[in-house]
Amino acid sequence: MNGRLRFLVSAGPTHEPIDAVRYIANRSSGTLGLALAEVILARGHQLDLVLGPSPLKPPAAANVERVETAAQMLAALARRFPHTDVLIMAAAVADVRPKQCANGKLKKDALGDVLQLEKTPDILCELGRIRAHQIVVGFALESLGGDAALAEAARKARDHGCDLVVLNGAGSMGGTDAEEVSFVQRNGAHESLGSLPKSALALRLVEWCEREGRSRA
């Protein structure tokens, strides 16, 4: 890898439709992904940004593809992944989706008491199957705390083929600050960054990727 890297970043939530107007989602705003985009471009790297439903405006210099669902996000990332140097999976992908999406809008009485769900694709695992030279960064939001959270982040790094997992608390979702962030590697090595603005976290993360890229050059 040379000094100028091609980053592939996913950002924002996904919306998994129940019908034409209702969907399953989460509280992700895409703030961190957009902060990463700003830092990556400011430091002279190339950027492909796959952005879920978010009201935030991405930087003009980014190559952006807008998506809605987890399946669409996986397809967009898979097309670009073979040609990238660094994948940062900052999106908060919905874990489940309705087994069926109704045409039009369901009447309230037709919704029933039970919604049949299925798991969405595990995007990191899917991309791991075609991984070659790429640096891969994942995220873990854990409420466990302490050593248990660090161990879970290291397990995720190993199981999902990540070089690094960014561990933080669920309270950071949708806000401007990330709470008690740690960088965790698959061997369990970790660095605690404390609580810091997402703009500062974005810079620290891009710097980590740059160092990793230089070590592989």
- Annotated catalytic, 187? no
Which tokens go with 36? 């990463």
* Angle, CA of 140, 34 and 29, to the nearest 5°: 65
| Catalytic-labelled residue, pool 26, 63, 103, 168 | 26
Q: How far apart are CA 100 and CA 204, in angstroms?
A: 41
Q: How far apart are CA 24 and CA 95, in angstroms?
A: 9
Catalytic residue ranges:
26
